[in-house]
Amino acid sequence: MSFRRASILWALCACALPLVLNAETAPQAVAKLPATPVETVRYSIKGLTCALAADLTKALEAEAGVVKVSASVKKDRLKVGYDPEKITVARISKIVKAIAPKALRIREKAAPSKIAQPPTAAPSPAISIPAK
């Protein structure tokens, strides 16, 4: 990285950082964080366009309990972060299906069970004892 590029990058970060969090905005930013862990639900939407993604984002963000919505038009995917104490997956799915009837929920694969296996003993190397 050239010196000029590095100094421009430093100047941008130094100028923008105080705008992001300062003594006034930090408490507000913390207050917006959900108290419970955020769950995620994903959808595959064949033929997702920018307009459809914008409609979905607007409708979902208007719901209480939806924390974050992100759409990928390139991958035809929609990802919704939500607070399970405030909204259900069924409610989210109903909103998504009303706007995008071709939407299919992507079920997360269950993690493989980690049952403790007894350790296998490695074969001991053959020891040759010289005869006297």
Looking up residue 60, the CATH number of its domain turns out to be 3.30.70.100
Q: What pLDDT does residue 101 have?
A: 92
Is residue 62 included in any domain, yes or no?
Answer: yes
Is residue 124 in some structural domain? no
Q: What tens digit of pLDDT does each residue of 51-77 get?
A: 999 999 999 999 999 999 999 999 999
The residue type of 127 is I
Residue 52 lies inside a defined structural domain of this protein = yes
Higher pLDDT, 53 or 7: 53
Distance CA 102, CA 76 (A): 11
What's the one-letter identity of residue 30? V
pTM over 0.85: no
Question: What is the extent of the structural domain holding 67?
Answer: 41-108
In angstroms, the CA 80 to CA 127 distance is: 62
Q: What is the pLDDT of residues 97-116, one digit of tens each?
A: 999 998 999 887 654 544 44
Residues 6+ apart with CB under 8 A from 59: 95, 99
89 lies in some domain:
yes
Considering only residues 99 and 117, tell me which one the structure prediction assigns the higher pLDDT: 99
In a domain, 60, yes or no: yes
What average pLDDT does the structure give for the chain?
Answer: 75
Q: Is residue 15, in this structure, part of any structural domain at all?
A: no
Give the per-residue pLDDT at 68.
93
For residue range 31-42, list pLDDT tens digits in order: 555 556 689 999
Q: Read off the pLDDT band of 15 (50, 70, 90).
A: very low
For the chain, how many structural domains are there in total? 1
Q: Does residue 45 sit within a domain? A: yes
- 14 vs 54, more confident: 54
The answer as to whether 25 is a domain residue is no
